[in-house]
Structures are given as structure tokens and as C-alpha cells.
Structure 1
């Protein structure tokens, strides 16, 4: 890519590589992502932090007719995505 350019002519091209990134910015983004993952991983109740109580109740109610008896965010995620 070209620093300061609004459109990167190398985007998804053979010239698009790790060699043309800002190493300082890349390191800061990796550190920020690691911090967020650690913060979320240490939360005692991630479900209540991510979802409002009304949505949790609604999802648990809708899942009560299935084999899942407790809310499982991964199951809800994969139900709506064709992976």
C-alpha cells in the first residue's frame, strides 16, 4: 500500500504484503486486541455484559423447545450463519 492514500492499489493483489504496513500501528492494534480478549475473558458473567437481560430471557425461551436447556451464545450464532 501507499501511506496516506485513500485507495490502496495493492489491496488483495500480489503486492499486498506485511512488508507495506506500519509496524508501530500493527503492534498497537495487536496489543489492543490482546487487551480486549483478556478483559472479556476475565469477566465473571460475559453473557450479561454482552446481552441485555430481556434478550437473554427471550433467547432462553426460544431455545427451551430445543435440546438446549441453557442459553448457548455459540449455538445462537451458528444458527444464523451459514458456515
Structure 2
């Protein structure tokens, strides 16, 4: 069974956001996710819902399944 890697998600969101030259507020506006939640997500302190994860993927250009790892893999 796979599980969500918070570290992988945090790094992916921060990296993609910066590549696109988006601020956390820009990303919040584009996804409908509160800016504070974006900040917490990048600090590995927030897990998005599935619809939020899909919106992040659509906005930043990644597939949501990219942030899931096998349960025995380390984060």
C-alpha cells in the first residue's frame, strides 16, 4: 500500500511554485487553498484533501500520484 509522503509533497510544491515564479499567495489564488495552508504544506505541517491535491497538481503541473510512496520506503 502506498502512502502520501509529506516531505516529497512539500518539496515538490515549493520547487514547482518557485519555478513558475509564484508566491504562496499566487498559488493560493490559483488553487483556492488558503495561503496559510500553502505555507504549512511547504513546512510539512498540513495534509491537503484529495481535491486540493488534484488542484495543486493541475496548477503546478504534476500528477497527484507522484507524491505517494510504498509504505516501506522512508520519507
TM-score where L is the length of structure 1: 0.23
Larger helix percent: 2
Larger strand percent: 2
Instruction: With a CA cutoff of 8 Å and minimum separation of 6, indicate the structure with the bigger relative contact order.
Output: 2
Larger radius of gyration: 1
TM-score where L is the length of structure 2: 0.24
